Structure 1
Amino acid sequence: MQRLLAVLVFWIAAIGMAQTKVGGVVVDELGDPIAFANVLFKNSTEGTISNDDGRFYLESEERYDTLVVSFVGYASREILLTSRADLRMEIVLAEGEQLDEVIVFVGKQPKKNNPAIEILRKIWAKKRSNGLQLYRQYRYDEYEKTEFDLNTIDSALMQSKLFDGMEFVFEDLDTSRITGKTYLPVFINEKLTKVYGDNDMNLEKRMVLGNKNSGFSNNQAIIAFLQDLYTQYDVYDNYIKIFDKSFTSPLSRTGIDTYNYVLADSAFIKDKWCYNIIYYPRRKNELTFKGDFWVNDSTYAIAEINMQATRSANVNWVKELYIEQEFEVLSDSVFLLKRDYLLTDFALNKKDKSRGVYGKRTTVYDNYFFDQPQTRDFYKQKQDPYNPVILERSDTFWDNNRLEDLNKDEKGIYAMLDTLKTVPKFKTFYYLSSVLGSGYIEIDKWNIDLGDIYSAWGYNDAEGVRFRGGARTFFGQNDPWRLQAYGAYGFMDKKFKYGLSGKILLDRKNRLILSGGNRRDIEQLGLNLTATTDVLGRSIASGNFLTVGSNDRLTNINLSTLMLEMEPVKNLRMRFGTSFRTMKSALPDAFSLDYLDPDAPGGISSQIKQFDLITTLVYTPGKRVIGYGVERRDINDDYSTLLLNFTHGVRGFLESDFDYRKVQLSYTKPWQIGGLGRLTTSVELGKTFGAVPLGLLNIVPGNQTFFTIFNAFPNLDFYEFVTDTYTSMHMEHNFNGRLFSRIPLLRELNLREIVGLRGVWGELSEENRLLSSPTNIPLQAPDDRIYWEYSFGIGNIFKLFRVDFNFRGNYLENPGARPFSVTGTFGLQF
């Protein structure tokens, strides 16, 4: 959500120059638009496809005088171009036959009689014998250029008061050859990488040789968002994942059921005879592309491919998504990727004239070498991608090593942005966007940030209305140390609470971090099966104005921690540390943590003191991060997480009360199920050895808020189930509108369907029941049978909201059991 906020704030508005430039709309004789019509400069391979509304734009550096427009079931037209630029064309196609030499079968025609599909089958058969897979080892250079541009800039915007004092930025306007809109570059990142691979050992190594930023180079929220555009994809795969969506590839084995294919032409491409196949989706509102590709007639390798997401695709904030790839021929038969171009037009809506932001990535591949083996140790050697030498390459280095030259406007962006950052109005605009994106108010002269602003208020039964304010040190995105603190005040209990923490990066190579802190606050225990050691956390349950039932099972906690963390292997973090907790009920009359204590007056204690030794292993394969300071920012969210936690309670030290052992294991994984959406699964299990009271047991996470929280049970009250041994599972599948897109009345709403299933089994030993017998709440574990719930949800309501309808499967006989609940959430999602 923060990444999208950082981008949406930059909405502003897009003309240009080319040798031949055309645009307009293709319609039938009744004036209705013709979607997916083929538009081509005559005697060339340069063309495009009209969009869902029949509109198109096409430009070329070459000079052409004839445009050819065609579509299945209509007579083709050739239009003479009387000027170098005509952007208001209305091309009417009459019903009739296509050119005699082009045989096409679409719609409900038998697939076996369609020559385009026969070619597609041969592509499938050959796809693993093309490209880098043909060699035992490979090496090549990869140059990546990522841009961030404001688009749809018109004269009205240029003359508006918004740009008073910043008129000079319009000197760097350019025109997109894809959409025909003017755009203004505001960010550019260049990266040069040397890639080594060994197909025998299934190993690959990427050595970054240079990395250069301009624009908002110190804002990691924006950079992390742009890093999503770095997602690697293979057009031969069945599905192409962009952001968190899986688009069906036109080369997919399921493409026959998803796309219409038309064999449109054949011609020489780079001295190789190739077929041209046009494709477009069979149905609206699905994650599909339209476009065409050229495929070689002997190797059936792709020579060129263009893919444009359909305007009706169920993707938020994205008006256009365009991909093109070009391949080069090596040794007369091997097709290797030469250039990959991705353009995304982010906009508040999908209207043609809406202003937006381009995110563009261009990747160029060159200098291929093969069958030059390297040792396994070579692939294991680490590189520091944040080496100052890599980040501070000279202009001469880039001039000599770029695989594609910057155009005039890209070259000017560095100087233009240096000037722009000195303009007070722009600095204010950028400052506000940064606050919304990060949640912190920057005080540069003191090198601190105030916030976060999203945790400023709350309510619970113990404190009443609650306000919270905080601050953190901030010298830059990659600070080697950071101090943070907050203070909170409850207007009902009239008590002050606080939390403070510090962390320092001792060794960057192994990510050796020392951290510690102290928190005195009110907390809702039982939101997670694993006890928190976060001294700056904000309890969701104790910070909401609206809850279901009584929100009175709250705990006063005094928590101190000292931790040492390291990452000896990428994405494998190891934490060793200690915590000391003092816990007692915040509302003793409604909820107690009393337990039997022979040494206490009256044989009962209401406060727990506990010192623990904690060892945690966290493995996150596939996780990508940005930054090298003590705090880093995640880029992707499609990685799995394996957590192993061991806690050893030490009795007697610092008057600690209990000696016990606790082992906990959890595994969370997102699954992209092709075109069926995204499944998220989570499994947790744990066991406590030794007698401990209620405050140290594992509470099955209930949820009495109106917010949907993954890994919690929305129909359980807090402390309804208490365990010392447990196994829990959660599954949630988001179909991303796959089902609703088939229902005519719902199709245009772009709603998304979510289903969930969750369950937990656990038990509580008689020893622990007896120890906590003085408490005033019932102690029950789901040991008789697995407790389970299921839910149905509707997401993407007004592109912001999600509502879940939750049903309780059993244990309905429990006092006050809630058989049904409604929860929801909101946020900006693609």
Structure 2
Amino acid sequence: MKLFCFLTLFFTLTIQAQFQINGIVTDPSSKPLPFATISTSDNNNTITDVDGKFILNSTVRPASFTVSYIGFQTKTIVILNDKKFYPVALLQQTDNLKEVVVSNENPALTIIKKVIASRDKNDPQKKLRSFEYKTYNKLIVTANQDSIDGRIDSSAAYKDLNKKSINIDSSDYKFKEIISRQHLFQTEKVSQYQFGNNKLKETILGTKMAGFNQPVYEIIAFNLQSISIYDPKYELFETKYENPISNGAPNSYNYKLLDSVNIKGRTTYMIYFKNKKKRKSSGLEGVLYIDQENFAVAKAVMRIKGILDISGIHEFEYVPSEKIWFQSNTTFKIVKGKNDDDIKILGGTIQFDGDVEENFEKRKKAASDFTYLLSESNSFDIHYNTTTPIKNPSLYIEIADDASKKPESFWQAYRKENLDLKSQRSYLLLDSLSIRNRVEKRLGIGRKIINGFYPIGPVDLDLKKIVSYNNYEGFRLGLGGITNERFSKNFRLEGYGAYGTKDGVFKYSAGSGVLVDKSTNTWFNVYYTDDVREIASTVFAVDKRVFKIYDPRPINISTFYEYTGWRTNLQSKFIPKTEAVLELSRNYIEPKFDYLFNLNGKLYSSYVMTTAMFSIVWAPFSDFMQTPTGRTESDKRFPRFTFQYTQTLPDVLGNDFNFGKIDFKAEYEKKYLNRQKTSLLLQAGYAFGDVPLTHLYNTAPNNLTKETVVQRITFSGRNAFETMYFNEFFSSQYLMFQIKHGFDRIKILKKVRPSLVLVTRMAWGHLENPEQHVGPVYKTLDKGFFESGIELNKIYKGLGLAGFYRYGPNQLLKFENNIAVKISYVIDLGL
């Protein structure tokens, strides 16, 4: 969701006076020299990228610039009035950098090993007991007007001597006119960072976002780059890479000593690093500036180049009293990179140049190809070893209620320099542009659609309720929705109605809720429902709503029970890093299949259940954000644990049975730097007392009882047993374990790039008092159930295939009956 909002702003806004020079630095054989130093007489400097290219910005026009690179002669270039691009070829020299380490080992690697060994004493979050500081951040999406041709191109065609037609393409010209007046997007933020007890918290004191009355909180929480350069996994644009100074980094990176430079009056080594893997976009590369005395990082340049060309720069100030380098400034930049496919977002297309043959004619660059995003942060008011307690330390980000309402005097006090005329215009022009193009409204609609709703005035239409299919109801046609903030921020109404074309029965639900506490998202809700539900299914009340255009598994379900009654609950996030639901309900239950429940000789074909239920999910490693509208999980991390307890209430409101259920789920997911991912799921349930079959466990089967493999081909489910037949097993206690390992997508053709996933599932179970259940024929899971399979997802347009095999004690006699072939469909929004 955060990435969706961020890219929406970055690219959809682009469909709308600073001096700069560009160039490339090469050796005598025209081979690019990465990370050569470019500097001017007024101490403005930059370095070349991995392709030897550089962009040097300056508020004034310098007379010249100097290019230096270890092992080559320094060269000074005079800047000419009519020249913007400077190719610079350096000549090699015989003298080398004086090596300080006497060793046969690569000197750069020796230095890096010392950096790793000294990491804890140089990391402020390890060396200092506590600290706090403030940061001013400005983020813009803009383009360099001098890079855009800006001519009105014309071509003449003569039909005869008397007629002439002229075709004019003025898009670049118009774009340059716009970019000369304003930025395409702009936001400012002032934050206070506090560190103590090994926790870092950001409190946003003020935020200002051009074109938006209410800040987009997903953008505020978006992690552009790691705050600490010493994190084991360095993060750029929400993607984690192995840090070049982590313990295992020497196995993953090559290092080269480039130069010895002075930073803040201290001598540093300039070390270039690059991932050892040969394939493109395999990891970070960049330059580390290492203090020669204490082997701390004095400056860092980190870069990845792929679909987007992304770089992050960390600058530090040396603090003599603490003998530590403390981060003072960070810079983050994104420009369009190269990719084989165009990306489509909200109806707009981002075009890329793919890897093409030399003789293939590339796409003509549009003006928007020069668009880039730049985020700069400056730290100030720094205090070390503070004693101020951190309020709500379990929160990673907290946004003050008045953060978006700060007066101009607030911003003038915190800005490093006053906004230039172009930035001032940007707020005015982007506000009017946002209103005219309904940017804020379109982004809001996009958020709703991602979660399965479409806003119509004060009501959000529930897209999941429109149409579905199962073997009992046939086509289920319906309409549902919930009121949104336009109706009320503190009160809501919701409901739905649906009709089954096969069973011919109308189902409905109606409910309302009132906000009890905004900061903890505490709601009190009441519902009345008359509907059907799959028998023996496990539903965790705190599970997040997962929206799919289709829900494949219920298509083949034919055994349901009807439930009619009311429920009331309290849902809240008042406990740190949790979400909980406390619910009381009373329902009339009627099985819609041939079943009787035998309790002490009395046969029940329907019954009443009055239950109390408590459900809670705990995400101890996730980051949470507190906004003026409530608390949200800004960064979902694993493991996460879900617990649910349900108990019937004897002799309360006509309850018929006395039983309890304990349900547990543990989820873990690990993403690797090579784009592979491992997912683990452990789920268990224990039902005790007099429990009818409708409320036992079936462990999510998803296979049809048909003769041939072809007849059993259906859509694969989510965490379902694909070779287990519907209603084959029932349990009152069960344990299920699933492991999935997904590999990076394999490119077969330009449009055919499947994702290979290996899957193994297993389950054990037991059924108490089987004599109580009259009617269905079933088995138990005492000996266990095992299946493994291969998924080839997203082969083409999201479609894929999967194959599974059943083995172990419950393997069937016929070989073909143990095989299941499934169709998968994964929606890929390109986000």
Structure 1 position 248 matched with structure 2 position 251: no
Q: 2:11 maps to which residue?
A: 11
Q: 1:118 maps to which residue?
A: 110
Change (3 A) 1:402 1:128: same
Structure 1 residues 396-405 or 813-822, which shifts more?
Answer: 813-822
Structure 1 residues 801-810 or 277-286, which shifts more?
Answer: 801-810
Q: Distance in 2 between matches of 1:111 and 1:454?
A: 67
One-letter amino acid of the counterpart of residue 826, structure 1: I
Q: Distance in 2 between matches of 1:629 and 1:773?
A: 55
Q: Distance in 2 between matches of 1:656 and 1:219?
A: 49
One-letter amino acid of the counterpart of residue 666, structure 1: K
CA displacement 1:231-283 (0-9 Å, x = unmatched): 64432233223466321222233333333322111121111111111223332
Q: 2:385 maps to which residue?
A: 371
Kept after mapping to 1: 8 A contact 2:205/2:399? no
Q: 1:235 maps to which residue?
A: 229
Q: 2:481 maps to which residue?
A: 471
One-letter amino acid of the counterpart of residue 500, structure 1: A
Change (3 A) 1:156 1:539: same
Q: 2:646 maps to which residue?
A: 647
Q: 2:357 maps to which residue?
A: none
Decide which of 721, 744, 755 is 2:729's aligned counterpart.
Answer: 721
Q: Distance in 1 between matches of 2:829 and 2:643?
A: 32
Three-state SS of the structure 1 residue aligned to 2:222 is helix
Kept after mapping to 2: 8 A contact 1:483/1:503? yes
Change (3 A) 1:170 1:202: closer
Kept after mapping to 1: 8 A contact 2:202/2:398? no
Decide which of 254, 274, 283 is 1:288's aligned counterpart.
Answer: 283
Unaligned 5+ residue runs, structure 1? Answer: 105-109, 175-183, 312-317
Q: 2:761 maps to which residue?
A: 758
Q: Distance in 2 between matches of 1:699 and 1:546?
A: 14
One-letter amino acid of the counterpart of residue 729, structure 2: F
- Equivalences for 1:539-554 in 2 at 5 Å? 544=551, 550-554=556-560
Decide which of 206, 210, 230 is 2:206's aligned counterpart.
Answer: 210
Structure 1 position 329 matched with structure 2 position 325: no
Kept after mapping to 1: 8 A contact 2:188/2:209? yes
One-letter amino acid of the counterpart of residue 653, structure 2: L
Three-state SS of the structure 2 residue aligned to 1:145 is strand
Q: 2:436 maps to which residue?
A: 423
Q: 1:413 maps to which residue?
A: 426
Q: CA deviation at 1:4?
A: 2.3
Kept after mapping to 2: 8 A contact 1:462/1:492? yes
Q: 2:773 maps to which residue?
A: 772
Q: Distance in 1 between matches of 2:505 and 2:12?
A: 47
Three-state SS of the structure 2 residue aligned to 1:328 is strand
Q: 1:178 maps to which residue?
A: none
One-letter amino acid of the counterpart of residue 733, structure 2: T
One-letter amino acid of the counterpart of residue 486, structure 1: Y
Kept after mapping to 2: 8 A contact 1:319/1:350? no
Q: Distance in 2 between matches of 1:378 and 1:626?
A: 13
CA displacement 1:340-371 (0-9 Å, x = unmatched): 22234476454394757856543332222223
Decide which of 361, 376, 384 is 1:362's aligned counterpart.
Answer: 376
- Equivalences for 1:781-820 in 2 at 5 Å? 781-784=780-783, 786-794=784-792, 804-810=802-808, 811-813=810-812, 817-820=817-820
Kept after mapping to 2: 8 A contact 1:470/1:484? yes
Decide which of 255, 259, 265 is 2:259's aligned counterpart.
Answer: 265
Give the structure-2-normalised TM-score: 0.79
Q: CA deviation at 1:413?
A: 3.2
Q: Distance in 2 between matches of 1:723 and 1:21?
A: 72
Q: CA deviation at 1:727?
A: 1.5
Unaligned 5+ residue runs, structure 2? Answer: 154-167, 337-342, 344-349, 355-364, 704-712
Give the structure-1-normalised TM-score: 0.79
Three-state SS of the structure 1 residue aligned to 2:318 is strand
Q: Distance in 2 between matches of 1:9 and 1:370?
A: 37
Q: 1:22 maps to which residue?
A: 22
Q: Distance in 2 between matches of 1:495 and 1:457?
A: 15
Structure 1 residues 721-730 or 604-613, which shifts more?
Answer: 604-613
Structure 1 position 448 matched with structure 2 position 459: yes
Q: 2:708 maps to which residue?
A: none
Three-state SS of the structure 1 residue aligned to 2:635 is coil
One-letter amino acid of the counterpart of residue 281, structure 1: N
Structure 1 position 495 matched with structure 2 position 505: yes
Structure 1 position 139 matched with structure 2 position 131: yes
Three-state SS of the structure 1 residue aligned to 2:762 is strand
Q: 2:686 maps to which residue?
A: 687
Q: 1:618 maps to which residue?
A: 617
Kept after mapping to 2: 8 A contact 1:366/1:403? no
CA displacement 1:621-671 (0-9 Å, x = unmatched): 243455658876543222432222111113443333311011222222333
Q: CA deviation at 1:615?
A: 1.7
Kept after mapping to 1: 8 A contact 2:204/2:400? no
Q: CA deviation at 1:783?
A: 1.0
One-letter amino acid of the counterpart of residue 284, structure 1: R
Q: CA deviation at 1:433?
A: 4.8
Structure 1 position 569 matched with structure 2 position 575: yes
Q: CA deviation at 1:34?
A: 4.8
Structure 1 position 388 matched with structure 2 position 390: no
Three-state SS of the structure 2 residue aligned to 1:721 is coil
Q: Distance in 1 between matches of 2:394 and 2:3?
A: 33
Change (3 A) 1:281 1:653: same
Q: CA deviation at 1:305?
A: 0.9
Change (3 A) 1:684 1:734: same
Change (3 A) 1:404 1:374: same
Q: CA deviation at 1:484?
A: 2.0
Decide which of 455, 463, 468 is 1:458's aligned counterpart.
Answer: 468
Kept after mapping to 1: 8 A contact 2:754/2:800? no
Q: 1:180 maps to which residue?
A: none
One-letter amino acid of the counterpart of residue 770, structure 1: E
One-letter amino acid of the counterpart of residue 517, structure 1: Y
- Equivalences for 1:568-647 in 2 at 5 Å? 568-586=574-592, 588=593, 592-596=594-598, 604-625=603-624, 633-647=632-646
CA displacement 1:17-57 (0-9 Å, x = unmatched): 4444114696996x8x75847463478783334456x6554
Change (3 A) 1:759 1:612: same
One-letter amino acid of the counterpart of residue 260, structure 1: N
Change (3 A) 1:56 1:165: closer
Kept after mapping to 2: 8 A contact 1:248/1:287? no
Q: Distance in 1 between matches of 2:175 and 2:604?
A: 68
How much is the aligned-residue C-alpha RMSD, in angstroms?
A: 4.5
Q: CA deviation at 1:725?
A: 0.9
Q: CA deviation at 1:787?
A: 1.9
Q: Distance in 1 between matches of 2:308 and 2:406?
A: 36
Change (3 A) 1:285 1:580: farther
Change (3 A) 1:482 1:772: same
Structure 1 position 101 matched with structure 2 position 96: yes
Q: CA deviation at 1:123?
A: 0.7
Change (3 A) 1:726 1:635: same
Kept after mapping to 2: 8 A contact 1:50/1:56? yes
CA displacement 1:301-345 (0-9 Å, x = unmatched): 11111111032xxxxxx4122111000011174210111222344
Percent identity over the alignment is 17
Kept after mapping to 1: 8 A contact 2:552/2:716? no
Kept after mapping to 2: 8 A contact 1:4/1:225? no
Q: CA deviation at 1:710?
A: 4.5
Structure 1 position 297 matched with structure 2 position 292: yes
Kept after mapping to 2: 8 A contact 1:224/1:634? no
